[in-house]
């Protein structure tokens, strides 16, 4: 590319931002994708096409407002005839994580937006990545949490008795004084017995 070509090259007026509500998900979770497409130029963008590269083997679309068609490979296709200067085109997609896989998967979700601006073709790509945990990875944490709950239940048996005693008006201060008195008397008796 010549130096003159670099000088006359214009930046794209397409501004594309993409967000996901969960960076880590598991089988059965619902995910929400938000795409914001904006025309930052001083002229309209025409014949806009937004192609969402959707990982259909892992996600199932539950809603997608404005969806025009679904390609054979599972890609979602959105279209708009014109986007005026400064105008925003929001796209929102909801999907559910399928349960037909196991392990840990890092998925990438890309959208490609193209159109025509001032008699020239423009294009912008934006992607988000997220982790999906399959059933086999969830089994062990569930067992561990169950053991922790059992241990906590056993250790809290005394704490469950204390409120019942308090409700009867049992004097705790007297109880502790009496208890430590018995312990002191027991050790004093043993000490005297050893001396004698």
Same domain, 61 and 103: yes
* Location of structure tokens 């561990």: 144
Does some domain include residue 195? no
Does some domain include residue 193? no
Same domain, 113 and 171: no
pTM of this structure: 0.61
Q: What string of pLDDT tens digits covers the 196 residues of the chain? A: 444 433 334 578 999 999 999 888 888 899 999 999 999 999 999 999 999 998 888 889 999 988 999 988 889 999 999 999 999 999 999 999 887 666 677 888 899 999 999 889 999 999 988 888 765 444 443 333 344 344 444 444 444 545 544 455 545 555 555 555 555 555 555 545 455 5
Does some domain include residue 191? no
Same domain, 131 and 145: no
Give me the domain span that covers residue 79: 3-138
Q: State how far the Cα of 114 lies from the Cα of 79, in Å rounded to an integer.
A: 10
Does some domain include residue 194? no
Q: Which residues on adjacent β-strands are paired with residue 38?
A: 15, 88
The CA-based dihedral angle spanning residues 116, 118, 121, 126, taken in that order and rounded to the nearest 10 degrees? -70
The total number of structural domains in the chain stands at: 2
Q: How far is CA 50 from CA 35, 74, 77, 113, in A?
A: 10, 14, 6, 4
Does some domain include residue 43? yes
């Amino acid at each position: 590319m010549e130096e003159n070509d670099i000088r006359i090259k214009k930046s794209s007026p397409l501004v594309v931002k993409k967000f996901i509500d969960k960076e880590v998900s598991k089988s059965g979770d619902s995910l929400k994708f938000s795409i914001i497409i904006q025309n930052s130029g001083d002229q309209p963008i025409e014949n806009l096409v937004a192609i969402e590269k959707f990982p259909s083997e892992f996600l199932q679309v539950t809603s997608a407002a404005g969806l025009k068609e679904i390609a054979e490979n599972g890609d979602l296709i959105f279209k708009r005839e014109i986007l005026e200067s400064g105008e925003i085109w929001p796209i929102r997609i909801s999907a559910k994580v399928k349960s037909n896989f196991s392990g840990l998967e890092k998925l990438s979700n890309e959208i490609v937006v193209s159109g025509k601006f001032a008699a020239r073709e423009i294009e912008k790509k934006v992607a988000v990545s997220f982790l999906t945990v399959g059933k086999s990875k969830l089994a062990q944490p569930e067992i561990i949490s169950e053991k922790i709950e059992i241990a906590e239940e056993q250790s809290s048996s005394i704490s469950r008795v204390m409120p019942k005693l308090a409700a009867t008006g049992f004097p705790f201060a007297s109880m502790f004084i009496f208890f430590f008195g018995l312990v002191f008397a027991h050790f004093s008796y043993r000490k005297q017995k050893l001396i004698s």
